[in-house]
Amino acid sequence: MEFSKFTIILTDRCNFHCSYCSQKKANRWLDISTVTKALDFIYPHLTKECYINFYGGEPLLAFDRIKETIAHLERLNRRRTRKIHYSLSTNGSLLSEEILRFLDEHAFFLLLSFDGWAQDISRKKGSFDRLVLLIPEILKRRRISLETNSVFTAETIGHLSTSIRLILRLGVPKIHIGFSSQPRWTPTSLIRMKKEIAAARTYFLAAYERETDIPWVDMANKYKKSIYRCNAGRDQVALAADGRLWGCFLFPHYFDGRNGNRESEKYCFGGVDTFLGDPEAIYARTMSAIAGLGMDNFSTPERRCIMCEEIESCWVCPIASAFSSRAVGKISLQTCRMTRMMRKEKDLFSRGFENKKRGRRPRIKAAGLS
């Protein structure tokens, strides 16, 4: 057992009601004694350099508990045998002067949910103005590493390319883009998505020299062909707001409300006390179930992924895709199509940058950004 990432969901309560959010907001809070008990066990299993990630709900609703958690970790790490990085995913609404100072002092990685021009459509009305003013304030804090996470839906996809430009103009150095499966993507919205990505590509090709320089993380990352497997529990672990331990923070989101489901038990390490009763045996048993979560065991309604010629370049998170297919290991046709499209787009990004390096004009249909 060795973990490079420990995610703590201090509360699943949130002060936003984003239209595409599938998380149940049950108003549960981790008490600090559960957190410290889990940390006392996990600390010796952390890698020399590791990440403690605060997630929610909106984790800043539990800011006092974040401070207590870090104080406890610093006591455990007083001999500095681990290099611990902290990260926080937030909607930004509660970021005050005091909190920013604390995040700066602890050199936090801050993942800010910000949908650009779609912000007031999908997230809380009026939050756009606040975030546009807040981002430059965060960037002044030199020890905070800021990244944004933007989610687009079939209804807001027309804002993708202009939102990317806006976020970069504000000075954000790294961006993550996600696509919500709800509401369903129609053929027209998928065509719009392609056009928007083409517009972003045209901009990136003009503004950046190398593919690895571009700030859209998924497009910049190189990938090796292989059969993708879920990494839950392998090098990461998560403590949910109800006090149960999982291999990844996405599991409690999906299985919440499905507690009686045997499948949920199969993938869960159990409550902290249960797990600490026999950690080695519970870990081994749970990991043998998670080992089955690889592309070679997944299927769409049309075929098994193992029969697909694209399997080695396809990566689908089994839990994220279960939100639309309603079963772990099943991939909806919509997710399969979108995954294929994204892979082709990524190849076009790579080809465009290769052509640029060779001094050739990219053979990509220009789609200007407005």
Which region, judged by CB under 6 A, interacts with ligand SF4, from 62-70, 72-80, 182-190, 331-339?
A: 331-339
241 near ligand SF4 (CB under 6 A)? no
Q: Is 339 in the site for ligand SF4 (CB under 6 A)?
A: yes
The reply on whether position 289 binds ligand SF4 by CB under 6 A is: no
| Spatial CA neighbour of 259 closest among 270, 248, 275, 273 | 270
Question: Smallest gap, in angstroms, from Cβ of residue 82 to ligand SF4?
Answer: 22
SS3 sequence of 284-334: HHHHHHHCCCEHHHCECCCCEHHHCCCHHHCCCCHHHHHHHHCCCCECCHH
The residue range among 23-31, 76-84, 268-276, 315-323 that interacts with ligand SF4, by the rule CB under 6 A, is 315-323
Cβ 217 to ligand SF4, closest distance in Å?
14
Q: Name the residue nearer to ligand SF4 (CB basis): 77 or 339.
A: 339
Nearer to ligand SF4 (CB atom), residue 265 or residue 310: 310
**Cβ distance to ligand SF4 smaller for residue 5 or 201:** 5
Sign of the CA dihedral running 59, 61, 66, 67? positive
340 binds ligand SF4 (CB under 6 A): yes
Q: Which of residues 244-263 bind ligand SF4 (CB under 6 A)?
A: 248, 250
The total number of residues written for the chain in this structure: 370
Pairwise CA distance, residues 79 & 81, whole Å:
6
Smallest distance from ligand SF4 to CB 246, Å: 9
| Minimum distance from residue 335 beta carbon to ligand SF4 (Å) | 7
Mark the segment that binds ligand SF4 (CB under 6 A) among 51-59, 269-277, 312-320, 349-357: 312-320
Q: How far apart are CA 90 and CA 95, in angstroms?
A: 9
**Residue 81 CB partners (closer than 8 Å, separation 6+):** 48
Strand partners, 83: 49
Q: Measured from the CB atom, is 141 or 234 closer to ligand SF4?
A: 234
Q: Decide: is 342 part of the binding site for ligand SF4 (CB under 6 A).
A: no
Asked whether position 330 contacts ligand SF4 by CB under 6 A, the answer is no
Report H helices in 91-186.
Answer: 97-105, 119-122, 127-140, 160-169
Q: Which two tokens stand for residue 113?
A: 């949910």
Number of residues that bind ligand SF4 (CB under 6 A): 21
Take residue 68 and report the two structure tokens written for it: 């207590």
Q: Say if residues 110 and 66 touch (Cβ distance below 8 Å).
A: no
Q: Is 276 exposed, middle or buried (0-12, 13-18, 19+ CB in 10 A)?
A: middle
Residues in contact with ligand SF4 by CB under 6 A are 230-232, 248, 250, 295, 300, 303, 305, 308, 310-311, 314, 316-317, 319-320, 331, 336, 339-340
